[in-house]
Amino acid sequence: MAHQSQITFDTYSTHTISETLLSEITEAIKNVSPYGSVEIYVQDNIVTQITVRNIKKTTQNKKSESSRVNTRYAGI
């Protein structure tokens, strides 16, 4: 039988950041593609939820964003 590490409240404490918590946050950030955010919810100094939001930009938003960037750097 494989040994499993025990998950405790200390694992998700904001006072001492565990390797497990750091790993989960890192994985959440890696899963944001290509636009989005990571939200970390804390209750009583314990991380209770990590939410990954991926945003799909519409074609119109991509074009206006692209032209805005091109306009901004056109004079450089």
Pick the closest to residue 50 from 62, 59, 38, 60 (CA basis). Answer: 38
The answer to the question of residue 1 being in a domain is: no
Give 18-63 pLDDT, tens digit per residue.
Answer: 999 999 999 999 999 999 999 999 999 999 999 999 999 988 766 5
Prediction pTM value: 0.67
The answer to the question of residue 16 being in a domain is: yes
The answer to the question of residue 3 being in a domain is: no
Number of domains making up the chain: 1
The pLDDT value given to residue 8: 80
The answer to the question of residue 18 being in a domain is: yes
Structure tokens at 22: 């750091």
Local structure of 16: helix, strand or coil = coil
Give me the numbers of helices (H) and strands (E) for the chain, helices first please.
2, 2
Phi-psi region of 36 (alpha: psi -120 to 50; beta: other; left: phi over 0): left
The answer to the question of residue 54 being in a domain is: yes
Domain that residue 43 falls in: 9-73
The answer to the question of residue 44 being in a domain is: yes
Give 24-35 pLDDT, tens digit per residue.
Answer: 999 999 999 999
The answer to the question of residue 2 being in a domain is: no
The answer to the question of residue 40 being in a domain is: yes
